[in-house]
Structure formats: structure tokens, C-alpha cells
Structure 1
Amino acid sequence: MTEQESVEHGIAELASEAFVVGFPLVFDLEQVGRFLHDGLGAVPPTPFNAFGHARTLAGPETTFVSVNNDTLYSIAQLDLSVGPILLTVPAVGDRYYVLQFVDAWTNNFAYVGTRATGSVAGEFLLVPPGWDEEPGENATVIRFPTRVGTIVGRWAVAGADDLPAVHALQDATALTPTLETFAPPAGIPAVEAGPTDALTFFERMRVWSQEFPPADHDRDALATYEPIGLTGSTPIADLPQEVRDALEEGYAVGKQALESSLHSMVPTTDGWQVNLHVFDYNTDFFEVGALDGREWRLTDPTTRYARRAAAALGGLWGNHAYEAAYFPTYVDAAGEQLSGAHVYRLRLSPTPPVGAFWSLTMYDLPHYYLVENPIGRYSIGDRTPGIVYDDDGGLTITISAARPADATAAANWLPAPEGEFRPLLRMYAPGAAVLDGGYRLAPIERTDNMTSTDDTTSTDRNTDEETR
């Protein structure tokens, strides 16, 4: 390798690292912009500093990564360049809800809702970075790490008859500016698409990382990318050709590594990725409702950046496990990729221990979107009408592309696509047994190659002996 080739290789390697570090910011702000102009499924396009409310549950038309089908969404994109904004929430009774606060780097930094602040009405003053004035007497201050951030609200829905009550709660949730100004929100700096995906990505990373600075120690990481032009004022398109070539190479390597990591970076138990700490990369910003404990901090920088990027790609705006635990799986009990070409069974005995509710949602690959099916069922859980429990109180779920002929299997059917898929188990307000690892899920078993189906004992993996 010549000296020139060695230099270019080093730049490309640096670019692949930069891709992983910058991916959450770029992907998040692209989705923020998309929401402002296109909405998100049933949530209509909504300008900054206002809630957009879904009035119906998400379906296959909601083309967003790992969207849930359990709750109605209320989503707001905040731009605090206009000054502090007052958030008002109503009393909700015994209904589960959560308002999750996410900054531009995808850090979950605050929670308002059933677990975090209770079911009573309240007021919260949302303030921009550097704000140091005295708040009002009745409002709890929530400090935003970045000028732009997202509130992702989720309201539990018991069924179609319950929708009007949820709509009333949504309408009573308000965002009110506290300063009079005729200036519009500053917004996200426009970065037009370049000649390639790689150059577009790195130009957005360059511009947006300067507009929305991360935590102090992350700024040190960004500073190391000065040799590839990601910290300066020169547009990526104007960099020397050899640098742009290296950025192209680094982008391709980083992208492939990130996509591959979704399958391998999280430990698995019986095929399930136990993602209790996948969103724990926030180590700096802890406002109301965000737990600041050592068990919820991922501090190793190498692991942290990779985990943060994978979390954004596979589950943007996902909650910490103490709010909602997410267990996805790609494989069956034999370690084979799940596919609609086969029929599977999942036995839950006991069913997941939760303070709110649980569900198993079906997603296609590689997009992680909900799957169109003839009965309009995108998830199954403890609130699904008509499901049939086993004699011991457990639940046996059939997963297949074709509707089962057996009546009980059809009642407990989670439709799958014809191709590969990834189910995701959500547990809202997970119990202590989930968070301490005591609750263990059985693997998903392929049944179209079995000679007998009377083997429920072998699939019941949540015995006292194994849940310790």
C-alpha cells in the first residue's frame, strides 16, 4: 500500500466511525422534517410547537420504524428558538399514558405520564438550552438539551368505543408559548440532497451537528472528524476529491456495519433480543421522569455510539425499558430466520408481568413496518378481544402468513408477511421480574415440521427453575 493509499484508507475508516456517531442526529432530524411536512401515518402534518394527534391506531400505511399499534400517538416537534413553552396535561384517571421527550441526538431526557408524574393534571415549562430565568410557581421546568426536540405521546386505547375518551384527553393536552413574538421558529437548517447519499449524509451531519451541539464529551468525539471536513464551514461538496472518495467508502462500510449490528449487537435469550438497556446511551440529561441511576447508563463510548445508532435505525423514539420494555426476535428455536413460508407457535406461560399491558407486534423486514393482513390484526396481547387462554392461564399464539384452520389457533393468530419478519414484544410499565431478568420468554417454535403438537410442556420455558 502506497503512502497515499494508506492516508485514504485512514480517512475512510474515520468516515465509517463518523457515520455511526452522526447517524442518530441525521436520521432523527430527517424524520422531524418528514413529520412537519407529511405527518406520521394517522398523525397529520403539524407545524413546530403544536401537537399532532392520531385519531385512529397505526396500520400498514404508517411507514415508520417499529410503530406501535397499541396506543394513539400525540406527537409534537418543539423548536424553542421562540422561547419557553408551557405544556399542560389533563387528569387521566386510571388510563396509562406517557409523554416521552427526545432531543435531536435521540436522548430520552424526560418523561411525563402515569409512571413518571402520575395521573393528575399538571403544567410543565419547556425551556431551551442556556435558559436561566425563574419559572412560575406552578410549573415544573423541563430543560431541553437541544433547541429542537420531540415529544412522543402514547395513550392506551381499550378499543373502538374508547376512542372518544382518548380524543378528549388529547385535545386537553396543550402547548402554549410564553413569549410574544412574530418571528417564526428557526427550524432545521435546510440541506438539499447532494449527488450521492453519502455526501448528502455527511453534509447534513456537518451542518446539523453545529446547529444542535451534543453533550460536551460528544463534542470531543466530533472534533476528531476535522480531517474529513465534518467540523468546519466548507461544504462537503467542496472538499478535495480524495476526501469525498473516502467519505463514500466510509459511508458504505459504516452503513453495512450498522444494519448488520441490529441482528448481533444485543444479547439473545432463546432467540429474543433482551433490549433492557438499548436506549441507555443518554448519560448527561436527566429531567423529570428520567431515571438517573447507574443501571440505566451506558458509558463505554465505543459501545454507546454503536448502540445509539442501532437504536435509532431499529426503533427511533423508543422508550427506556423502565417505561416500556422491548423484546424483538428474528429467529425461531432452531436459530433460523423467521419467514412467512412457515408456521410458528409461541407459548407464553405465564404471560408477561406488567403494570399496564403487553402486546406482540408483527413487522416486516427490512423496513420494520406493520404488515397488511386479511383480518386487520397487527398485534396481539392481553387486550385483544376474542383470544383464548390455555387451561393454566398461559397463551399460545400462532404466527403464520395463512389463517389457521383450527378455531383456537385462528383466535390467537398473529398474521405474518409472506417473506421474512421480526416480531416485537412490548411490555408497558414492565414488572420487576422483567427488569431484573427473572421473566424469560419461550422461543418461537416452527410447527409445520413437527410430527406432534402435543408438547406444550417443552415450550413452557418460564418455570420456577429457569426464572431466577
Structure 2
Amino acid sequence: MGKLASRLLVFVALTGFVACAQAAPETEQKPEAVAERAYLYGLQQAIFYGQRWIYTQNDAETNDIYSGLNRFFWVRKQITPDFPVVTPNATTLYGSGFLDLRDGPVVIEVPEITDRYFSVQIMDPYGIFRIIVGSPFNGTKARKYILLPPGFEGNVPADFPTTDIMQWPSKTAYGVVRMAVKTGSDSEIATINAYQDQVTVTPLADWLSNGNKGIAQADRDIVPGDFVVPAGLPDYAVGQVDKQTAEQFFTLLNVILNDATMPVLEDSLMESQMLAQLRSIGIGKGLTFDWEKLTSDQKAAMETGFKAGFESVRKTLKSNLINMNGWGIVRNDGGFETKWMDRAVIADAAWAAPDKNISHGGAFLFTDADGKPLSGANKYTLTFDMNDLPPVTQFWSIPIYDANGYFVANEINRYTVNSFMLDAGDLVVKDGKLVIYVQNAKPTDPDQAKNWLPAPKEGFRFTSRFYGPYAPLTNGTYNMPKVVRVK
């Protein structure tokens, strides 16, 4: 390239940046502030990228959820302590995986399911669930949905009604399928597994060549992802939020901004200002970010901002919960396009949880009625008035975890109490009250033993789930019972 051409490119780059800075002078900030804001902006997308690597590229024998592209990893039995998932729900069986639309549309087919709750929810890289379908939303009949990538100009087959044609904003997506488990019996699990086997994810070209129908996952080969793997990602992708360093986060963020499957939002002034700020520290589309080329002062500034972002998210998670009689509800009322703190909090606390309480909501509990940390050294009760049960259209579930959010093995293999157990008569109700006994040792009283929710020996916590919640369960006005220590 000649000197004149080089100078012109430099001039264009510089004047373009100056023009942007003049149009939005608020983008001129210190590196520490840019780095902190970048953490809030990019945490969700960074975890999306890390999870996509786990699902589609990490083919290690120890990685059970490796599925490849356009396939779901299915949980085919109730989750127990041997399944290493943080804050799992034993009242649903899951399927999850990453869709790839680079070669064109993808078709998702779901069978008729009339005997239980089910949903299919598809999330974009920003954590926004743009597709939420299933029994509570559009019925129980068999359906097929087609996702169209940006810029698709082909013909959509006549098989699809317009309600089931989805224009997708990127060429990648994360999907999750949930099916309710009522009793957990072998026959019920077999029924759910049969439904799972009938859910298909098929590229349109293959769908057409198969006679306009999906191809069973068992009949499709695993197609691995081929996305850029930045240095260190295999080491920090699992437990990413707590493991990743500032260097790794910002290196990954630059990879993301250069990934054609993850375009930025259209017409977002807020994001365009963020992108301009990132370019000021060498991160952006068309740029090659090299941490080692930064000065020691630049590294220190970015590490300071990264740490501040991490701490602000953790602080907000605890301080910004909606108080529901001691239980904490995460504020997830949508708007992730611009509510970056809300987006980051959900990504940190429960990545791929809903951005809006449309399908389900939840509430955390870490302390007893006296504000003391929950401990298996004590005995507790959780008492529901039968005239004031959690108001839901579907079901509720209250699983118990150790202090780190994992199920702990117990002698009756019970990790939750839920409305299905109540409906089936498995729980004892006396004088209009449902009393759950939360303790480590099995109660000696037979009725109490039926209502026993085994607690870990040491610290523990709850994350309740409400499927089809009414407003009081999302705005905190429901009188959720406290966990009371038996003295």
C-alpha cells in the first residue's frame, strides 16, 4: 500500500472518530470508566460466547453437554446432585442448545403435548428472549417455527403461517425447551423422553430435502462449531464470571465485536456511544486487540474498571432485589437493549434466565425470618395458607440448595416441594395450613416426615420458581411465607 493511501486511511479513521466524538462528546471518558461500563455492556454476550463454545466446540469426553450446532442437549431424567448445574429445577426436564443460521433459516418442530406444561424459548446474544411459545402461550398442538437470518431473501415454504415465521436479528441463537415433571415416575419420564425425541431442529435445506419435515436428532450427525477460540477460553468458560480476568474479558469482547454471527443492535445511540468508547481503547470491529501492547498504566486502568464492573453487578444483585416478605425477586422487566445493569445482573446470577417474567419468575432466599443465614444445624418451618398459595397459572416449585447453589444428596431423594406434590396428596395439610419442615434430620413424626424438605448439614438457600406467575409474584406484593427457625 502506498504512503498516500496509508495516510488517507489513517485520516479517514481519525476524522471518523473525531466526528463521532463531536456528535456525542459524552463518549470521551477515562479508560477506567470505559472499562467498567464495557463490563456491564458485554458480560451477557461474553457468557453467550463462552457457553456456545461449551455446547458446540468443546468435544472433551468429560463435557456431557457437547451437542454441536442446531442440536439440543437433553436432560432425560430428573436432575439430582450428580448433575453439576447451579440452581437447577427438578420440576422440569430441559433441552438446550445453540442454533446456527449462517447457512440459512432453521426449522424447529414440536409435537402435540396436551398433558403437561411445555415451552420453547429462543434467546438472542443480548439475552433477549424474542420467541416464547408453548402450552401457556399458543396452545398444545404440534407446531413448527422457522427462524430467518438477517438479510434472508429466499422463499419461505407455504407450510408456515405468518405467526410462526420469526425474523431473527442475528445468525446465532440459544434455545431452551422445558417440560414439566409432575411425579418423576419411570413411566412419566419415559413419556417426556418420547416428547423430547420428537422435537427437531433442522436447517431449512435439510428440512426441504427430507420431504418438508424435521430430521430426528438421533439421525443427524454432530456438526461442531467453528468459531474463534481466544486464548484461555477453554480454561475459564465454565464458571466464567468468577474465573475470567480483565485481559481475557476484553480480548473476548473484541472477538465478539468481530464475529459476524453476533451483530450489534440496529439504531442504538447508547450502543454506538459504547462502541466509540471501546474503540478509544483499541476494541472494536476491524481492530486487533492485543493486551500485551498496552502500557502498564493502560492495563491498570482496564483492570480497575473491570473489577469495578464486576463488583457493581454483584452489589446490585443483592441491593436491587424486590423484597417479597424477605424473598428477593430479580428485577427483570425487559428492556435489555438499554438496561445493561439488569442484563449483566441476570447474566451473572442466572445466565439464560428470562429477561421478562412472561413464562416464569423466581425468588431467592438466603436468610430466615430473623435475618440470620440459613443453616442445616437448625430446624425451620415454611408455612403456606391453603387460601393463599403462590398465584400461578401453571405450577410452583421451591427447590433447596447448598450455599453454592447445588443439590445435596439425601435419604429420600427430595430436592424440592411443589404444587404437583400438593395436588397429588403427597403433602399433609392440617387446619388449612401446609407446613414444610426444613431440616437435616428426618422428622420422627410421620406427618412431618411427609412434608420434610431435607436441608444440607451446613449453609443452604432457596430459589423458588413460579410458572405462569400472577403480578403479585413479580412485583413483590404476594405474602410469600418466611422460613422460621424452630426454637
Q: TM-score range by the shorter chain?
A: 0.7 to 0.9
| RMSD over equivalenced CA pairs, Å | 2.9
Return the match for 1:145 from 169, 183, 197. Answer: 169
Is the counterpart of residue 227 in structure 1 residue 280 in structure 2?
yes
**5+ long unaligned stretches in structure 1:** 1-8, 284-300, 451-468
Structure 2 counterparts to residues 27-426 of structure 1, below 5 A: 27-36=47-56, 37=58, 44-139=65-160, 140-158=164-182, 159-160=184-185, 161-179=187-205, 187-193=226-232, 197-211=245-259, 212-216=262-266, 217=268, 218-231=271-284, 232-275=287-330, 277-278=331-332, 280-282=334-336, 301=338, 304-319=339-354, 320-349=356-385, 350-366=388-404, 368-384=405-421, 387-426=426-465
TM-score for both structures, normalised by structure 1: 0.82
Offset from partner CA, 1:238-296 (integer Å, 9 cap, x none): 33332222222222222223223322121212211133x4252345xxxxxxxxxxxxx
TM score, norm. by length of structure 2: 0.79
The letter of the residue matching 1:78 is L
Residue 357 of structure 1 aligns to a residue whose secondary structure is: strand
One-letter code of the match for 1:383?
F
- TM-superposed CA distance for 1:101, in Å, is 0.7
Distance 1:229 1:61 in 2: 44
Q: State the 1:227 CA deviation.
A: 2.6
Q: Distance in 1 between matches of 2:180 and 2:246?
A: 40
Residues 201 and 257 of structure 1, relative CA distance in 2, 3 Å threshold: same
Q: CA deviation at 1:377?
A: 1.5
Q: How far 1:342 moved relative to its partner?
A: 2.4
What amino acid does structure 1 have at the position aligned with 2:199? T
Query: What per-residue deviation string (whole Å, max 9, x for no partner) do you get for residues 353-378 of structure 1?
Result: 22221110112334x22233332212
CA distance in 1, matches of 2:61, 2:97: 11
Query: Aligned residue for 1:446?
Result: 485
Does the residue aligned with 2:394 lie in a helix, a strand or coil? coil
CA distance in 2: counterparts of 1:170 and 1:184, whole angstroms: 20
Distance 2:272 2:222 in 1: 30
Work out whether residues 384 and 481 of structure 2, in 8 Å CA contact, stay in contact via their aligned partners in 1: yes
C-alpha distance in 2 between matches for 1:258 and 1:91:
41
8 A contact 2:107–2:146 mirrored in 1: yes
2:378 maps to a residue whose letter is H
Q: Identify the match of residue 24 of structure 1 among 27, 37, 44.
A: 44
Deviation at 1:313, TM superposition (A): 1.5
**CA separation in 2, counterparts of 1:119 and 1:254?**
43
Task: Determine the C-alpha separation between the residues in 1 that align with 2:48 and 2:439.
Answer: 33
C-alpha distance in 2 between matches for 1:432 and 1:41: 42
CA distance in 1, matches of 2:63, 2:181: 15
- SS of 1:383's equivalent in the other structure is helix
Structure 1 residue 96, shift from structure 2 partner: 0.8
Code of the residue aligned with 2:265 in structure 1: it is A
Letter in 1 for 2:245: D
Q: Deviations over 1:21-63 (max 9, x none)?
A: 2111112221222233369999642111112222111222333
Amino acid at match of 2:31: I
From the CA coordinates, give the structure whose radius of gyration is larger. 2
For 2:317 and 2:482, how far apart are their aligned partners in 1? 19
Q: Deviations over 1:211-253 (max 9, x none)?
A: 2133232343233222333323233333333222222222222
Mark the CA change 1:35 to 1:363 in structure 2 (over 3 Å): closer, same or farther: farther
Residues 142-196 of structure 1: CA distance to partner in whole angstroms, max 9, x if unpaired?
A: 2323322111101112222201111111111111211369996764321121897
1:321 and 1:222 map into 2 onto residues whose CA distance is 30
Write the distance in 1 (CA, Å) between the matches of 2:47 and 2:75: 22
- Counterparts in 2 of 1:32 and 1:252: CA distance versus 1, 3 Å: same
For 2:33, which of 13, 33, 44 is the aligned residue? 13
Question: Residues 407, 219 of structure 1: CA spacing in aligned structure 2 closer, same or farther, 3 A cutoff?
Answer: farther
- Provide closer, same or farther for how the CA distance between residues 235 and 308 of structure 1 changes in structure 2, counting only shifts above 3 A: same
Distance across 1 between alignment mates of 2:33 and 2:302? 9
- Distance change (3 Å), C-alpha of 1:184 and 1:60: closer
Q: String of CA shifts for 1:428-449, please: whole Å, max 9, x gaps.
A: 12245545655321222122xx
- Does 331-340 or 400-409 show the bigger shift? 400-409
SS at match of 1:246: helix
- Write the deviation string for residues 377-429 of structure 1: whole angstroms up to 9, x where unpaired: 12111223664333344421122233333333322222223333320111112
Could you say which residue in structure 2 is the equivalent of 1:462? Answer: none
Q: d(CA) in 2 for partners of 1:342 and 1:183?
A: 49
